[in-house]
Structure formats: structure tokens, C-alpha cells
Structure 1
């Protein structure tokens, strides 16, 4: 990433290594002050972040992001960044999903209005594990509608997002077999301090023709932060307790758990050719911290620097605390979401 970017490549997706997770702007995690979104988006763009991720499911996120990007348009025109949004999920439970071609088509139009744009760079089927396989890949389903919109030039790249990696791989391999491979896969919470399964699956996604693989929620949906996760977080009590112990150990050694977790996730770029890591950002300070953590990782890689003794010691303790839950994936959908 570089400083202020006025344009991004329009013929090929060239995302920044750090992506802006705009779901955090919905207020789902914390109360958002009215001036935060504009300041956060401006700081992100000035810092070289060029891709924003959102969804109709994330409360008012699309409205808030659209207004914020409109407010900085004089400095950063629409051509200077990519917008990624989603279709199919509109509420908490499985009853709130609609993967029909008509709803998907309407959803894309609605998202464009909210985001104040006449095209979308990337559109993903949201949480594909919640619906039947045929609803995603079959005739009259979501992917058929998205690829039609891509052919019409309304969107540029098509993909899927989900929590269970095997579900994503099955869809990717199916799409490759039918000669219409996915452009993008977005996984979340699968390259964190606790779970690194995405490193194992990314080569399989590439083999299935997927061009871009992204990781979201490097903090495990706020599992690895001093404040802890929100009440609705799907992690069981034991994992929550272990994550809290990790935060305590890190803090006692003069470090910050969120920064440590972010830096760990950013290493995926070189370890298994991860394209982008999306991190939820609420305000200007969040953006600055995320960029600083990313820059530290890159500088260390370039200078062949090793972690400090304190960092090595802390990471060893963190690994030990999380060892009982290494690569554990919670159920998705959860019982609450199946209600």
C-alpha cells in the first residue's frame, strides 16, 4: 500500500493487503459517533487502503459507508477504491435468507443506491452455509443471477462468503467443473491466533480456479481484544475464557492483544498468498492502529527482523492457552440462527 491513491486498476482487481471491514460501522460492536465513519474512511484511503467490505445484513453499514465515501469524494473519487458487498442474507435466522435470482438482482440495485454508486466491484453470496447447495449454484439461484449481472457490467467480480471452509470449497469446485469459477472467496475467523485452517484451504481454492482469497475478522469477531467479544459471539465459554486469559497475559507484558492478533493475521500474505485481510474499523484511531500493525509486519519482513524476546515469550504463552481450541470451528449456523 502507498499513501494517497487517486485511482485503482479498473481492469483487474488489485486490492490493498489491508481491507476496511465496514460492518463495524453498523454499531453492532460499539456505539458509533456520527463523525467517525467519514474520518475513518478518509484516513484509510490516505493510508493506502483501497477496498471496503459491507453487506445489507450489517444494519445501516451500507448507508453509513455510502455517505462517508460521498463525503470524501472530492479527494477520493469512486475510481480510487473498490466496494465489496453481499446478497442473500437479510437477518439473523435462516428464515431471513433469500437466494432467488430476483431477490439477488433487486438486492444489488438496493445496495448500489445505499452506497451511492452505479456499479459494484465485488458481490458475494453471504453465508452460503445457511441455505441449500442448489440455492447457491442451481438454476434460478444466487450465483446464476450474479454472473448475469457481471456479464451486464453492473458488477465486476462474483464470489461467496461463509464460515465453514468445506462448504466454500464444495461450491468453488462445483463452479470450476461447470466452467464458471468463482472470482473471490471470503473466509472469516479462519486465520487468527486460534484458527489457521485458511492456510490449508487456500491452495485448494486456487486449484478450483478462485483468483482472490480474503480473510476477515483477524480478531476472531472481537474475540481478541481487551474489551472481549459481544454477547452474541458464537464462541463457547471455554474459548472466551481462554481468549480473555490471552488478553491479560499480553497486557501484563506491555503489549496489546488486538495488535498482536492483527500482526499475526497479516503474515498470511506471504505464508499462503492471502490477497487481503479485512479488519473491522470504527474510527480514525482504529485505522491508524491497523495500518501501523500492518506496516510493522512488512518492515520486519523486508529487514528480516525477528520478534522481540517479549513478543516471542508472549506468543508462546498465547499458543499454550489456545492449544485446547487450536483450529476449532464453532457451528454455523448456530442454534440461535436456526430458530
Structure 2
């Protein structure tokens, strides 16, 4: 029986450390990770694909080991994807084992709480579930105690469901599914699939990227973002709508995602300590509001919450035509 995966409602996504979304000052990661731990965030999600993120995170956690030993937080990493192109994938059992060992060294740990097959839609089904493929090796590593939970991550929900079904049918269900950009202000498809995952033996479902990889924020989306021009324009108009009401689209997007309690945790990329504090404040306000609702207490901040909900509803209505739409992954 596995140790309970008692992760915080917000998990820290470290893909942000590679500077893909926006420039990151050298001192920011240390400050952000320290602040996250101080404020109760206890899960960190990374990958070899995220540039030097594993190395940066490992160095930081090692420097904090006296205050925060390895047992005080959870670590998740990924295998299979090592670059931006299709040829950068290697799901072979040999490479999977090597990859986990390399990640252990970079992160100064002898085990991982979760290891995901990264972006499963980019490779053949056989690479994922076959005899010489990634999942077989990850489950072997789980038996050896080097992994607590085996997971899969990717964008197309139908692919994640299909792999979960295969593993369920063979009596070796996937432990964790990581979905991204499928529960956010412009897309809530995950909500219609979560019970399917649980029926297939998936213990935990994680929701990542409530900002939809930098689309739902004040600044324009990154150039590499797969959203079509029409969706980019819609997001930009929503940012202006929020700004007109004295609010930030990024804050509203985080709030919207955190209110979805069916997932185990929401993974958010934080560039700096201030962003960590803003995320935690959003979560704290939600908790206070629920306590007050039960007690019949009304606070001044409830008015702000009502205003935010009105704007969120306006954004959701404006984004309605995109709600069940997903971009193609992998791209043509």
C-alpha cells in the first residue's frame, strides 16, 4: 500500500525556470521555492525537458535541506521527452531507467513520488504500453521502491483515457494522470472526463496550467503557443475586460481553476516569490470564504469576490465557443 499522496492544493510547476514563458532573473527561483515551502506548498513538478529546471530545483532544495528535508515535500518528474521535436522522444525501457537515475542525481534524491510518461500523444501506443516501453519500466521501478506512483501526462484527453483503459484491463492501472490546459477559463473538458479516469483505477488526477501555458494573462501569449489567432485575440480581450474592472486575468484564471475541487492539486508555474504569494492568497481567500459561509459571517472581501465572479462569468460567456475545443497535439 502506497504512502498517501497528501499534496497541497497548489503544486509548484518548474517549467517556468527555463524562461519559455517570460524572462526569469537568476535569484528568483530560490526566492520562489523558499517562499512556496514557507507558505505550505509541498509538491514540485519538473522534467528533463524543462531545460535546467531539474538542476536548478535540486540545487535549491539541497540548500534548504536543513529546514525542509526530503520527507517534507513531494517530487514529480517525467521521462520520455527530452527536446522540442518528435525525434527527441525515447520511451525505451533502457532510457526510462537511465532518465530516472539522472533526475535523481540532479535533484539529490533516491526516489520520486511520481514519475510521468511525458506527452504520451507524441509517440506510438506501443512505446507507452508495450513490453519494451515506458510504463512497464516505470512499474518495475515502482516495485524497486524508486517511484511511489506511476503517471502519464499529455494534452489530448482521449489519448490519456485510452492508455488508462489499457492499463486497467491488464490489471496494472496508472496511478496518476496529469492533464493541462483542460480546466481553465477557456476549456473545461477535464470535468467531463475525471470520473472516467477514476473508474479506470486512476487514483489521482492533477490539473496543470490554469493560465493555459501563458495564454490567460496580462501579457500576450508566447510566440510558440499553439492557440490560433482567434483564441489569442479572445484572451487579449478578456485581459482588457478584467483590467477595466481593476482585476487581472491571470488572478481570475487561477481562482477559477482552484475552485475545481475534483482534482488532487493544481500545478502552477511561479516565476518569483510575489507570484507564489498571490497564488496562496487566492487559495486562502477561498478557504476563509467557505468557513465564513458555514458560519454565516459576511466579510468586506466578499464584495470583491462577487465582483470577481461576475467578471469570471462574463469571460466564460465570452469564451463559450472555445469551451469544448482543443488544439491539435502533436501539431501537424
Which residue of the other structure, out of 294, 298, 307, is the alignment partner of 2:283?
294
Stretches of 4+ moved more than 3 A in 1?
305-309
Q: Distance in 2 between matches of 1:262 and 1:292?
A: 11
Answer yes or no: is the 8 Å Cα contact 2:217–2:239 preserved in 1. Answer: yes
Shift of 1:314: 1.5
The whole-number CA distance in structure 2 between the counterparts of 1:286 and 1:182 is 32
- Unaligned 5+ segments in structure 2 are none
**1:218-257 paired onto structure 2 within 5 Å:** 218-257=210-249
Which residue is 1:328 aligned to? 325
Do the aligned residues in 2 keep the contact of 1:123 with 1:159 (CA within 8 Å)? yes
- Per-residue deviation, 1:317: 2.3
Task: Kindly indicate whether the alpha-carbon contact (under 8 Å) linking 2:46 and 2:76 is maintained by their aligned counterparts in 1.
Answer: yes
Partner secondary structure for residue 268 of structure 1: coil
| Inter-partner Cα distance in structure 2 for 1:67 and 1:196 | 36
- Pick from 307, 311, 317: which aligns with 1:310? 307
Any idea what the Cα deviations from partners look like across 1:156-188, whole Å, max 9, x if unmatched?
A: 110100000010011111111111011100000
Q: Secondary structure at the match of 2:324?
A: coil
Partners of 2:244 and 2:45 lie apart in 1 by 34
Taking structure 1 as the reference length, the TM-score comes to: 0.93
Tell me the distance in 2 between the aligned counterparts of 1:166 and 1:302: 37
Secondary structure of the equivalent of 1:187? strand
Unaligned stretches of 5+ in structure 1?
1-9
Write out per-residue CA displacement over residues 70-115 of structure 1, whole angstroms, 9 at most, x where no aligned residue: 1211110111101000000011111111100000000001111111
CA-CA distance at 1:61 after TM superposition:
0.7
Describe the superposition over 1:257-308 as per-residue Cα deviations: whole angstroms up to 9, x where unpaired: 1111000000111xxx210000001111110011111112222233237674
Show the counterpart of 1:80.
Answer: 72
Q: 1:122 to 1:309 in 2, by over 3 A?
A: closer
Larger CA deviation: 306-315 vs 95-104? 306-315
Summarize deviations over 1:165-221 as a string: whole Å, max 9, x none: 010011111111111011100000000001011111110000000001000000111
C-alpha contact (below 8 Å) 2:256/2:312 kept by paired residues: no
Which residue is equivalent to 2:90? 98
The separation in 1 between residues aligned to 2:324 and 2:55, in whole angstroms, is 35
DSSP 3-state at the match of 2:51: coil
Report the count of equivalent residues. Answer: 323
Query: 2:21 is matched with which residue?
Result: 29
State the Cα distance separating 1:309 from its structure 2 match. Answer: 4.4
Give the distance between the partners of 1:77 and 1:284, measured in 2 at CA.
21
RMSD of aligned residue pairs (Cα, Å): 1.3
Match for residue 127 of structure 1?
Answer: 119
